[in-house]
Structure 1
Amino acid sequence: MTKAVNIRRWLGIVLLVLSPWSAADYLGLTGIGVKDLEVSKAFYTEVLGMRVARTYELGYLNEIVLVYPEGKGGSLVLMNWPNDRERVYDGSDVKLVFEVADPAALIEKIRARELKIDREAGPIEALPGAIVALARDPDNYVVELLKR
């Protein structure tokens, strides 16, 4: 190994150790508020192929944690506050991006549930070579289906 390669490797290790972020830092779960836990669970398990990893019934808050069976990607937490009558579940300003094998097939599953389709599956100029579709889940969250 050359001296330059050794110095680069050493500098990389030093920067990693001195970095304020650990190499293990990552976003593990994303939670969204939903009107009906069972309806939302059915959407994400039956349409997008996720599975229930865990449920929590805390009285003031109920949650269903969803994961992909292969263990890839982050987890999605469906949250519902059963006693909060003022809470609005409208999907405002939230987009969930799922990397999938066949966006068009999933759009058909979503269409079969009579949910809103914002964009049919097709190429997108901003991501050369990618296929993108946009739809809404039962709570009006934007669901982006991306094939790279």
Structure 2
Amino acid sequence: MKIGLTSVFVDDQAHARQFYTEVLGFQIKHDIPLGEASWLTVVSPEDPEGTELLLEPSGHPAVKPYRDALMEDGIPLAQFQVEDVAAEHERLTGLNVQFTEGPTDIGTAVIAVFDDTCGNLIQLVATKELAGE
């Protein structure tokens, strides 16, 4: 068993498409029109056959209170793995991405949290190799 697809709820798919591809650097995997929305997935250019991220419309009534509670508590909806959090923080800050938490060493990893402009907080994480493993 493996994870093939996961999703983040987005307020506007066109805006999410732009942010996730032009700013974050993901590539479109599928963009299949389904009425007013699309089955819109992106993948990492480093792993184009890997896990797809569905940019899912946030229209379901349960989504708003869920995301509002996460945002209010500062809890990221998703985590994206990177090699170097500080370098990615610098790159994204240069593209006007707003961080709610800058690079922070938490012992086993370095993390940072940004606002994806689509209604979510996203955490960047670079795990550390622990001694003896």
Could you tell me the TM-score, scaled by structure 1's length?
A: 0.65
By how many angstroms is 1:102 displaced?
2.5
Which residue of structure 2 aligns with residue 12 of structure 1? Answer: none
Does the 8 A contact of 1:121 with 1:132 survive in 2? yes
Structure 1, residues 19-53: CA drift from partner, whole Å, max 9, x if none?
A: xxxxxx12211122212212212222233321001
Which residue of structure 2 aligns with residue 22 of structure 1? Answer: none
Higher strand share: 2
Structure 1, residues 95-119: CA drift from partner, whole Å, max 9, x if none?
A: 2111112322333444455554221
Compared CA separation, residues 124 and 31, structure 1 to 2 (3 A): same
Rg larger in structure: 1
Gaps of 5+ in 1: 1-24
Does the 8 A contact of 2:29 with 2:42 survive in 1? yes
- Percent identical pairs in the alignment equals 27
Which residue of structure 1 aligns with residue 79 of structure 2? Answer: 97
Could you tell me the TM-score, scaled by structure 2's length?
A: 0.71
Summarize the alignment of residues 22-101 of structure 1 with structure 2, pairs less than 5 Å apart.
Answer: 25-59=1-35, 61-71=37-47, 73-80=50-57, 91-92=67-68, 93=70, 95-101=77-83
Compared CA separation, residues 69 and 116, structure 1 to 2 (3 A): closer
Rounded to whole Å, the distance in 2 between the matches of 1:89 and 1:66 is 23
Question: Once superposed, which parts of structure 1, at least 4 consecutive aligned residues long, lie more than 6 Å away?
Answer: none
